[in-house]
Structure 1
C-alpha cells in the first residue's frame, strides 16, 4: 500500500470530520437528525458502494471462494478482538459492570462507515467488495455474539435474527446473485449507484464530526478511565495480531490488504445505539466511538507503515 495515498486519504477524512464539526453549529442534533444521518449512510450510501463494487468487478468462481473466506476471517478477527478486550477487562476491572461493553468495543470496528469507503479509495472496486464482505461478517458478529453478550436473559430469538437482515446485507446478497447470473444492469442504474456511492465517505465523516461536538466533558471524565482497553485493543493490539496471522496465510494481496485495513478501523459508530437498545452503557459507546475515530487518524497510517515494512 502506498503510504502517501493512505496519508492523503486520512487527511481528507480529517477535513470532512472538521466540516461536520463546524456544520453541527448550524442545526440541532437530536434523535431525528441522527436518524436521518444513519438512514442515509446505512440504507443508501453503503448499499450503493457494495453494488458499485460488484458491478465493476469481474466475478468468477475464485472471487466467490475468496468472498466466503473473507467473511469467515472477519468473524474470526472480530471474535479475537472481543476475546482480548474481555481478557483485559477481566484482569484490570474484574468487579466492573461494563466488561461486556469493553469487550465488544474492542472487537467490533467501523468497517462500514469508514472501512468500505477507505478500501474503495485505496484498493479500488475489488477492495471495496471484500471490505463490504468483511463488514457483513462484522454485522453478523454484532447481531449474534454481541447481542447475546448484552442480553440479560441470553436468548437468541427471531427478533435478533431479523436484526442481522439489514439493507447492506441484502445489497450484498442481491449483488452477488446478479453477478452469479452474469446480468448487467442498465447504464443508468450503474451511474446512479456510482454517484450515490460517492456520498458515503462525506456523510459518514460529517456524522462523526457532529458526534464529536455532542460529547460532554463530565461524561468523558466519567467513562474515560476505562476506554484505554478498547482503544488499545482495537487500534493497536488487534491489527498487530492480524498482521501476524497474515504472515502465515497465503492470500492474494488485495484480500490481505483489505483485511489488514479493516482490522485497523476504530470502534463501530453504532455502538451507543446498540448499547442503548440493550440497556448497556450508552455514554461509553459514544465516547469510545469518537475517541477511537480521532486516534485512528494517527494509528492507521502508523500501522500501515509497519505492515509495509514487516508484512507486505
Structure 2
C-alpha cells in the first residue's frame, strides 16, 4: 500500500475533524446532540458501509473462511491489547483506581468510526468488509470481556447478551446471509446504501472534532498522568505486534492490510458511553479517545512507513 495514500487519507481526516471542531461553536452540544451523532453513525452510516461492501464483493466458501479468521484474530488482538494495558497499569500505576478503564482503552480501538471508512478508502470493498468483520470482533469483546471487567460484581447477564445485538452486527449477519444464498438486492437498494455509506467518515470525524472542543484543560492535565499507557499500547505496541504476527502467519494481502490498519486505530470512541453506563470514569474515556485520535494522525503514517 502506498504511503502517499495513507498520508492523503490522514490529511482528509484531519480536515474533517477541524471542520467539526470549528462548527461545534454554532450549536449546543448536549446529551441530545451526542445521541443524534452516535445514532446516525452507528445505526445508519455504519450498517450501510457494511451492506454496501458485501453487495460489491463476491462471497464464496474461501471468503467465508477468511471472514471467520478475521473475526477470531480480531478477538485475539483485542484481548492481547487489554492484557498489555492491564499489565502496564499494574506495573506503573499500582495505586490507580482506573486500571480497568486503562486496560479497555489499550485493547479496544476505533475500528468502526475511523477504521471501516479508512479501509474502504484505501483497500476497497473487500477491505471494508474485512474491516467490518474486525469491528464485529471488537463489539463482541466490548460486550463480553469489556463489560465483565467494568462490572464490579463481575457477572455476565442477559442484559450483556442483549447489548451485543445491535444494528451494525445485524447488518453483517443479514449481508452474509444474503450473499450466502446469492440473493441479488434491487439496484435502488444498492444505490441507497452506497449514498448513506458515504456519511460515515464525515459524521464520525465531525463528532470527534466536537468532542475535542468539549475537553477541559484541567481534566486533560489530570488524565495525562495515565493516558500514556493506552496511547502507547494502542498506537505503537499493538501495530508492531500485529505486524510480527502477520509476518509469521502469511495471509491474504487484503487481510494483511486490514489487520494493520485496524491495529493502528486510536482508542474506542464509544468508551465514554460504555464507561458512563457502568459508572466508570467517562471523562478519562473522552480524554484518551481525543488525544489518541489526534496523535494517531501522526503515528499511522509513521508506523506504516516503519513496518513497510
Answer whether TM exceeds 0.5 for this pair. yes
Distance 2:93 2:14 in 1: 33
Distance 1:307 1:139 in 2: 27
Give me the CA root mean square deviation.
Answer: 0.5
Q: TM-score, normalised by structure 1?
A: 0.98
1:235-270 superposed Cα distances (whole Å, 9 cap, x missing partner): 000111111111111100100110110000000101
Displacement of 1:205 in angstroms is 0.2
Are 1:197 and 2:197 an aligned pair? Answer: yes
Distance 2:8 2:252 in 1: 25
Aligned to 2:220: 220
Aligned to 1:181: 181
Distance 2:187 2:273 in 1: 37
Aligned to 1:303: 303
1:67-89 superposed Cα distances (whole Å, 9 cap, x missing partner): 00000000000001000000000
Aligned to 1:263: 263
Displacement of 1:153 in angstroms is 0.5
Distance 1:209 1:303 in 2: 23
Displacement of 1:221 in angstroms is 1.4
Aligned to 1:123: 123
Secondary structure of the structure 1 residue equivalent to 2:40? helix
Alignment of 1:1-312 (within 5 A): 1-308=1-308
Displacement of 1:223 in angstroms is 1.4
Displacement of 1:220 in angstroms is 0.9
Distance 1:64 1:307 in 2: 28
Distance 2:185 2:121 in 1: 23
Q: Number of aligned residue pairs: give it.
A: 308
Distance 1:205 1:124 in 2: 20
Q: TM-score, normalised by structure 2?
A: 0.99
